[in-house]
Amino acid sequence: MSSKSRIVGWSHLPFGKREEPDTEAMIAQVTSGALKHAEVPAGDVDGIYLGVMNNGFSKQDFQAGLVALNEPALAYTPATRLENACATGSAALHAAMDFIESGRGRIALVVGVEKMTSTPTHEVGDLLLGASYRKEEITEGGFPGVFGRIAEEYFKRYGDRREELALIAAKNHKNGVSNPYAHVRKDLGIEFCNTISDKNPLIADPLRRTDCSMISDGAAALVLADEATADAMERSISFRARTHANDIMPLSHRDPLAFAGARHAWDSALKSAGVRLNDLDLVETHDCFTIAELIEYEAMGLVPPGEGHRAIREGWTYKDGRLPINPSGGLKAKGHPVGATGVSMHVMACLQLMGEAGDMQIPGARLAGVFNMGGAAVANYVSIMERSK
């Protein structure tokens, strides 16, 4: 008999340049932390789902096999590794939810992890290009170059929006000051984000360093349970809707500014949840680059195409605005350890819904949206979440 799955516990390491030598050490910390938070013995876990992109960041692969090393009671628990570019964490979460909702298990552990800072920066750019269509999208700027081209095309079509991108960066960095898990906890200010300088150089014209998310290490974990099990636990976060929509990978085969897969995922999620975008109290969205957040305003239906600048200019997406976007600081301030990002975004939403987000808290948050994407809006995941206990 199928049952809806709920989040009943979580753990999150601060993102940044971490001292742990490898993903194994970070996996151990968040696994034990999440199980402790959920008050679930390791032996009660029926399935493990680990998200890591890797693609060369670590010579150690087959990393789902690492989860049981620090928890001997997990030795015989089925463990599966998921990869879906920058949406790897959400892919792992969805697989775990499918596992529970198919009736195959009561409790699942989801872990997202990546160790990136040990890799030279120029190599990171090339490894991340694995999330693009290499036959056509190889750029000197690596993956930032892909979004630099998107920004350039956006400016040609809708007008130069460098200043609005700086506003988004400044907003997210200011929000990140309140996030104890963020890679950068510094309010950089609009002037710094909008000025090319030695400390804020062009990375992939027209994108500056402050327009690009951080290369980070980190891990996060979630414990999921079926409804009957969750009802007996201390906390429970449920999903009003969850959707996954893909788009064609090559940008040459579609309008690169439409983010049509993202729009489809949002439309489907809102319809399934029976709510409107305005009913949400906050959204954690995938700001791998500031131009992505700008276009995502349009894809989620906050503004029409070409008018993303209005949402930030008119203050709608600030913490005190009509729809706070990335009160955690987003990928821009929190960092983007690729495999961990989707799991992290869901942890941030859980904290808000439980009223445990500290200085990040959006007062009275009841409904939260999460948008996590892989590549340039190729794999698109939307969650609409609420507190059920």
Average pLDDT, stretch 5-31?
98
User: Do residues 84 and 339 touch, judged by C-beta distance below 8 A?
Assistant: no
Distances in whole angstroms, Cα of residue 379 to Cα of each of 64, 134, 158, 173, 259: 22, 16, 25, 26, 10
Average pLDDT, stretch 28-36?
98
Q: Distance (Å, rounded) from C-alpha 345 to C-alpha 372?
A: 8
- Whole-number percent of the chain with pLDDT over 70: 99
* Tens-digit pLDDT profile for residues 272-323: 999 999 999 999 999 999 999 999 999 999 999 999 999 999 999 999 999 9
Catalytic residues: 86, 336
Q: Which residue has the higher pLDDT, 143 or 187?
A: 187
User: Do residues 15 and 181 touch, judged by C-beta distance below 8 A?
Assistant: yes
User: Do residues 204 and 348 touch, judged by C-beta distance below 8 A?
Assistant: no
pLDDT at 2 over 80: no
* Tens-digit pLDDT profile for residues 100-149: 999 999 999 999 999 999 999 989 988 999 999 999 998 877 889 999 99
Average pLDDT, stretch 245-268?
98
- Amino acid identity, position 40: V
Which H or E run contains 174?
helix 162-176
Q: Distance (Å, rounded) from C-alpha 67 to C-alpha 79?
A: 8
For helices 142-158 and 290-299, what crossing angle results, to 10°?
A: 50
Q: Distance (Å, rounded) from C-alpha 255 to C-alpha 278?
A: 27
When the pLDDT of each residue in the chain is averaged and rounded to a whole number, the result is 97
pLDDT band for position 185 (cuts 50, 70, 90): very high
Which residues contact residue 265 at a Cβ distance below 8 angstroms, ignoring those fewer than 6 apart?
243, 244, 245, 371, 380, 381, 382
Average pLDDT, stretch 225-247?
97
In 3D space, the residue among 248, 282, 212, 216 whose CA is nearest the CA of residue 380 turns out to be 248
Q: Distance (Å, rounded) from C-alpha 28 to C-alpha 70?
A: 6
* Tens-digit pLDDT profile for residues 40-74: 999 999 999 999 999 999 999 999 999 999 999 99
What pLDDT score does 90 carry?
Answer: 98
Site of tokens 């990546």:
114
pLDDT at 153 over 70: yes
Backbone angles phi, psi at 362, to 5 degrees: -90, 115
User: Do residues 137 and 146 touch, judged by C-beta distance below 8 A?
Assistant: yes
Average pLDDT, stretch 197-215?
97
